């Protein structure tokens, strides 16, 4: 799995782009990098683009580990809104499963399916 993290100044947000087959260890590295990112700590929204992420072998244990990682980094993510940009019903189902594992323990997140949903979500982050 490949990933990159970029700060996009307008509208201000941190963009995480994933590509290739899901890898839990790499996903946890992303969380660690985001938890230390100056823009995230300042409250910039985080948009995780998962449209090119392939998830043929992701397990419930993987989803649980991701939820525990979000919970561990909750203080770093406390000021940031988080959204996952997804491409398929499978990704939507995995996102809903993650929401279920998180419950009230960590920051919530949105699941976005279309360019219009992403644009609307990002527009909420622009200064008024």
Asked whether residue 84 carries a pLDDT value surpassing 90, the answer given is: yes
63 in Cβ contact with 98 (< 8 Å) = yes
Domains of the chain: 2-123 (3.30.750.24)
Asked whether residue 128 carries a pLDDT value surpassing 60, the answer given is: no
Q: pTM for the whole thing?
A: 0.89
pLDDT digits (tens, 9 = 90+) for 8-49: 999 999 999 999 999 999 999 999 999 999 999 999 999 999
The sign of the CA dihedral 80, 86, 91, 93 is positive
């Amino acid at each position: 799995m490949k990933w990159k993290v970029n700060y996009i100044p307008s509208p201000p947000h941190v963009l995480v782009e994933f590509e290739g087959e899901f890898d839990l260890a790499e996903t946890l590295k992303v969380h660690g990098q985001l938890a230390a990112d100056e823009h995230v700590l300042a409250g910039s929204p985080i948009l995780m683009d998962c449209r090119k992420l392939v998830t043929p072998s992701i397990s419930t244990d993987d989803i649980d580990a991701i939820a525990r990682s979000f919970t561990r980094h909750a203080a770093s993510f406390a000021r940031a809104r988080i959204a996952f940009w997804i491409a398929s019903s499978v990704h939507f189902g995995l996102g809903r499963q993650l929401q279920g594992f998180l419950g009230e323990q960590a920051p919530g997140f949105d699941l976005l399916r279309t360019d219009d949903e992403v644009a609307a979500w990002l527009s909420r982050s622009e200064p008024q």
